[in-house]
Structure 1
Amino acid sequence: MTQRRRQQYDDNVPPEQPTDSPHRRQHEQHRRSKGCFFWLLLFVVAILLFGGHFILQKYRTVHSTINSINHPTGIQKARQTNKVLHHGRPISVLLMGTDTGALGRTYKGRTDTLVLAVLNPQTSSMTLVSLPRDAEVAVSGHEEDYPSKLNAAYAYDGSASAVQTVQKYLNVPVDYYATINMGGLENLINVVGGVEVEPTLTFSYGGYSFTKGQKVQMDGKKALAYVRMRYTDPQGDYGRQQRQRQVLMAVASKAASVKSLLNAKFLKTISNQVTTDMSFNDMLVVAARYRKATHHMNSTHLQGQSKMIGGQSFEVPDGNEKQRVTNLLRKALDLSPAQTGSTLSDSNEINTD
């Protein structure tokens, strides 16, 4: 990869390394993520899991909004999702938080947050796995640029290359995707009237100051400053992702509890910040048949080790860790055990048995 192109995909300053042990970091991340990941899912699919009632009430308005956010990847999916939904089988959704529009960025952007979620209505459970944005991969269709970071996959061919890279990386089919534009988070927060958040640490950023444990009401600008800081966080990117999920949780919670937010202004804002390849009919099925999958949650993250490769900092999980995550996801999807994937493999076939 040329130096100019590499700079497009990587942060200008290398991520700060966490000061605590990997074991403690993994424990803390697992504990915090248990509630936060659900709210990220809840928000990204908007009215999807809690909104079957609203969809039926406001059919025309919501139908129009869903049509506007529907953006198929254009790639052939690993399995026939319409049949999967029809039979009520578990589905997987790749959730991505993109940084397009943030800090004045005008290019396609990267994925600051990647979560692979599995909804299993048969066991009334949801499995969520957070993937490291700096994971070392070969981006699907752009293997000549190896090594690349996982968050760069979206910058190549959007959701298509991100989906293909993730499913090949883990040998797990990705049925759907959903993205939220983190750069538009300011508008979303303002349209719900702001959010109350309890900061996880004390710091100042972007002209705002935050005190750990002291709840504060945030408008869009203040919340964006809260979620953007990374380099002075002792947990580096792990800490920033936690704050992003914290704010998204607050927005989703408020939206879910106030029916009046499902008005034209709110839906218009959603349509500008969210994209998915779920059709309106897909969402109706999920709202009706998959809501019970939220009754029990199992969340974890793919743990890597920091390594410098070609002058860049990557997160590189070992083989056993990747296999653990593959086993967990495939079991949640009611698929047979299979070896974890590799983005350097010559085959693009995903085991869907």
Structure 2
Amino acid sequence: MQRSQHEDFEEIQEDEEQEDTSYNNQTNYKKIIFFWSLLIIIIGLIVSGNYFYDHFITARKVANTVYAPSTNDKSRNVEQLLKDGKPVSILLMGTDTGALGRSFKGRTDTMIVAVLNPSKKTMTLVSLPRDALVAVNGYEQYYPSKLNSAYAYGGSTAAIKTVEKYLNVPIDFYATINMGGLEGLINAVGGLNIKPLLSFSYGGYTFTKDKEVHMNGNEALQYCRMRDDDPLGDYGRQNRQRQIIMALAFKGVKLSSLLNDKFLNSLSKQLKTDLSFNDLIALGKNYRIATHHVKSTHLQGTTQKIGSADFEVVSVDEKQKITNTLRKALELSSAQTGNTLTDDMEINTETK
């Protein structure tokens, strides 16, 4: 029997209420944002160098496969921005589509706004709490909602517009990675060497704390799925997921992986972005310098129970601080932070 859209929304909301609302420590935070940043730049790096010529055709096919334009009207002329080498913003999202046996459209348990500023040679990364209290753009009737449900409700279109209105900053591009596809990516790079963070047995495998083991894709997936026997619950599971993701990121950017058509083809099945092939070439050629210096921060809220669910409620002052950070990185004029409950708010793209 086919499920209704509203039933899926209710299941999403119920599942969210059971999840732990703890947040990353600073060390793990820096690791995870590094991974998402690498994913969106990898293809641009591949297609920008003549020494990758033999793999140019494969890279182009990958770029065309992952290309999924948003139905949003862009807030800015992104083609001109890239041509002029101006700062651009990318909403990086990690979805749980296909993970843990879920059949409904995935939520975005990782949401990061990345700003690449080549003239200042800086990348600014702001992590957004998945449980932030918002009204999802186009789905305001489901208020109160969590920020990570925006993608589940309306895909990249709803996620982009919700973040834009929430912070009053333009989002020029987006990129999503399917967390359910990690197994294939891990196998494509020949597996990973991992030191387990704790001892446990799960999914037919036994893991011993601090005893390094070479994991294939399935073993790594089982390692980062277990939650019930972890003293830290879902937060502990997230720690292990980040450990696996970072090991994959560092191995994925090695030359052997970048020249590995199997890895590229696997990546093409898990990554979606509205960056076109030409956009990726522009990033690879003109924006790599922006990764030389990384500035990272996060939007901080306080946990409040609304109805039966816990939300992260962010003060206006905290939101304004993040809005100021992002607009400064984008070289935009100062502006008041956003509000998702204001339907007619226009995104301020005025330059200095």
Q: 1:235 to 1:339 in 2, by over 3 A?
A: farther
Instruction: Please tell me whether the aligned partners of residues 129 and 302 of structure 1 are also in contact (alpha carbons under 8 angstroms).
Output: yes
Instruction: Please tell me whether the aligned partners of residues 31 and 242 of structure 2 are also in contact (alpha carbons under 8 angstroms).
Output: no
Look up the match of 1:193. Answer: 190
Instruction: Please tell me whether the aligned partners of residues 14 and 313 of structure 1 are also in contact (alpha carbons under 8 angstroms).
Output: no
Q: CA deviation at 1:267?
A: 2.2
The answer to whether 1:156 aligns with 2:160 is no
* Structure 1, unpaired ranges of 5+: 19-24
Look up the match of 1:143. Answer: 140
Secondary structure of the corresponding residue to residue 48 of structure 1: helix
The answer to whether 1:14 aligns with 2:18 is yes
Secondary structure of the corresponding residue to residue 267 of structure 2: helix
Look up the match of 1:81. Answer: 78
Instruction: Please tell me whether the aligned partners of residues 8 and 104 of structure 2 are also in contact (alpha carbons under 8 angstroms).
Output: no
Secondary structure of the corresponding residue to residue 140 of structure 1: coil
AA aligned to 2:38 is: L
Secondary structure of the corresponding residue to residue 11 of structure 1: helix
Secondary structure of the corresponding residue to residue 127 of structure 2: strand
Look up the match of 2:335. Answer: 338
Q: State the distance in 2 between where 1:304 and 1:50 align.
A: 38
Instruction: Please tell me whether the aligned partners of residues 16 and 234 of structure 1 are also in contact (alpha carbons under 8 angstroms).
Output: no
AA aligned to 2:9 is: R
Pick the aligned partner of 1:290 from 287, 291, 312.
287
> Scaled by the length of structure 2, what TM-score is found?
0.89
Instruction: Please tell me whether the aligned partners of residues 198 and 212 of structure 1 are also in contact (alpha carbons under 8 angstroms).
Output: yes
AA aligned to 1:145 is: Y
Look up the match of 1:110. Answer: 107
Q: CA deviation at 1:347?
A: 2.0
Q: 1:17 to 1:339 in 2, by over 3 A?
A: same
Secondary structure of the corresponding residue to residue 115 of structure 1: strand
Q: 1:331 to 1:56 in 2, by over 3 A?
A: farther
Secondary structure of the corresponding residue to residue 15 of structure 2: coil
Look up the match of 1:21. Answer: none
AA aligned to 1:142 is: Y
Q: State the distance in 2 between where 1:50 and 1:265 align.
A: 14
Q: 1:295 to 1:201 in 2, by over 3 A?
A: farther
Secondary structure of the corresponding residue to residue 96 of structure 1: strand
RMSD over aligned CA atoms reads 2.5
Secondary structure of the corresponding residue to residue 58 of structure 1: helix
Q: 1:198 to 1:48 in 2, by over 3 A?
A: farther
Q: 1:242 to 1:14 in 2, by over 3 A?
A: same
Q: State the distance in 2 between where 1:113 and 1:333 align.
A: 22
Q: CA deviation at 1:237?
A: 5.4
Q: State the distance in 2 between where 1:127 and 1:201 align.
A: 33
The share of aligned pairs that are identical, in percent, is 53
AA aligned to 1:5 is: F
Q: State the distance in 2 between where 1:338 and 1:230 align.
A: 42
Structure 1 window deviating more from structure 2 (292-301 vs 212-221): it is 212-221
Q: 1:316 to 1:231 in 2, by over 3 A?
A: farther
What count of residue pairs does the alignment treat as equivalent? 345
Look up the match of 1:302. Answer: 299
> Scaled by the length of structure 1, what TM-score is found?
0.89
Look up the match of 1:40. Answer: 36
